[in-house]
Chains A and B, each alone.
Chain A
Amino acid sequence: MRHHLLRLSGGALTLALAGLGLSQTATADVVSRGALMATTCYACHGTDGRSSGTIPSIYGYPTEIMVAQMLAFRDGTRPSTVMDRHATGYTDEEIRLIAEHFSTLR
């Protein structure tokens, strides 16, 4: 629901700016650092975190849950095949930005 509202207001904003002859500001939202970093996850977890294969989908996770999982992969308290090797490369801030992005995807 919240997501729909955001999307609506984003569209209205775009229209308004188009009227002023300005470029689409979806740019500012869509290609944010969190959104862009999240795209590297799509190769395994599917576009927008929707996997069609054997690797789990990760869209729509509440931010705090994904952050907790990533931290658990990072400190080794949650076993994994490959996620521990990924999680150790990300800072707290990066993990949160990526998690926030996935939480908005439905």
Chain B
Amino acid sequence: MTTQISRRHFLRALGAGGAATALAACGTLSDSRKTKGQVVVVGGGSGGATAAKYLKRFDPNLDVVLIEPIPRHYTCYGSNWYLGGLTRMDRLAQTFTVLRDTHGIQVIHDTVTAIDRDNHKVHLAGGDRLSYQKLVLSPGIDFRYDAVAGYGPEVAETIPHAWKAGPQTQTLRRQLEAMPDGGVFVMVVPGNPFRCPPGPYERASLVAHYFKQHKPRSKIIILDNKETFSKQGLFMDGWQQLYGNMIEWVPSSQGGQVEEVDAATRTVYADGGLTRFQADVLNFIPPQEAGRIAVESGLTGATGWCPVNQLTFESAMDPDIFIIGDASIAGQMPKSGHSANTQGKVAAAAIVRTMAGMEMLALSTVNTCYSLVGPEYGISIAAVYRYSDGEITGVPGSGGVSPADASLHFRRQEARYAQGWYDSITADIWG
């Protein structure tokens, strides 16, 4: 199966006029005298695709293989814009063509079923076995379905999580479109840490934007398994200004901690059964842990996430595996697309420097997360992170959120920059 896929890709590359590229790539792969070793990257999301590209940028002589099951990657960032009707789904699709044809990365669309750490090999669902000298693992998240009674993969079609962008996002959009005016949209949001801390609140905002236009008597209830959330003051101000009382946020201490879901009736129970919410559309974002392959390969700690050397992103369990993105424990860096992008570059540099016999450098890096409260109303959180004494921490006195008293012009400017950020980061990763 894998072999067939690879061959088809090879032929497609030839057909697309990429003969020189394809042949050159093969030449590099087979001529061991020219190569310095093979780096296999697992996962073509923001972390993995960045790592693959920057490994080649930092050292064009490396053989880099990227394994990603899905030929079109839909970015999680931007998926709330789609849910709010601001963009089309195909605008969120990223492909691997440029990484393959321009950057010389061998892209294999298959699933990694196991990592044989002792023999430095990854096993693919199609049957192939690939050797690696260094492995970069960017597996993203998986859901902890055991956390809340009544919610599991079997009900995800009725009650979408939509926390991995793709068909789930479209399912949720269809449900919102089918919901009658005056309906109730309930979101269940996990405690920390989880992918994209401001994401649920941007989602509530843009669904409110859609409701305001098409179903203005509807209501949004956020049941949150925590007491505070990212950019809270800015979101709540924006909600009041743009949507009045449409959005209600319920923290865990006031009934927001959901313990049970009845999928058949779209009812959630909180507060030991004392509180009950019935939804017309229910979006359940489950608690999360590192992507399954990391768990199954013994690379996670007690928390379900992957401990790493925060200077290099080398796994604490295996010196030849580097774990980046949402799956990793990266000090104070949030689980964001920008973090994954930065970590992909750091791991790539660490690998290239290590192979050249050089130590990794301690760096300062930034994270910027934009959220739209409305199409013309953007807010952001930013931070500068520095590695020192074994840990990545925020630089005191830097970073923070957009000013509380900013003008509408400022908010509009940040909304434009949100789109600019999307354009730049996706080009930096897959372009």
Contact = CB atoms under 8 A, between A and B. Distances in A.
Interface string B390-431: 000011011110100000001001101101111111011001
A36 B431 CA distance: 19
B14 interface: no
B341 interface: yes
Contacts of A94: 364
B383 interface: yes
A53 B59 contact: no
A53 B363 contact: no
B338 interface: yes
Contact of B398 (A23, A25, A40, A89): A89
Given A82-B382, A85-B382, A85-B399, A44 B417 contact: yes
A31 B383 CA distance: 23
Nearest to B397: A88
A72 interface: no
Interface of A is mostly: helix
A42 B424 contact: yes
Nearest to A57: B424
Size category of the B interface is: 35 or more
Contacts of A28: 356, 358
Interface in A29-71: 30-31, 33, 36-37, 39-47, 51-55
Contacts, number: 138
Contact of A89 (B58, B346, B366, B431): B366
Contact of A43 (B338, B349, B353, B394): B338
Contacts of A6: none
A17 B428 CA distance: 30
A40 B358 CA distance: 21
Contacts of A23: 36, 61, 355-356
Give the most central of B422, B425, B428: most A CB within 10 Å. B428
A77 interface: no
B425 A31 contact: no
B380 interface: yes
A4 interface: no
A9 interface: no
Contacts of A52: 423-424, 427
B424 A53 contact: yes
A45 B368 CA distance: 12
Interface of A: 23-28, 30-31, 33, 36-37, 39-47, 51-55, 81-82, 85-91, 94
Given A45-B424, A82-B368, A87-B398, 19 more contacts: A23-B355, A27-B358, A28-B356, A30-B58, A37-B364, A37-B365, A40-B363, A42-B425, A43-B421, A43-B425, A47-B428, A47-B431, A82-B417, A85-B382, A85-B399, A89-B384, A90-B364, A90-B384, A91-B364
13 contacts: A26-B60, A36-B345, A43-B342, A44-B421, A45-B424, A47-B428, A55-B417, A81-B417, A82-B368, A82-B380, A89-B383, A89-B386, A90-B395
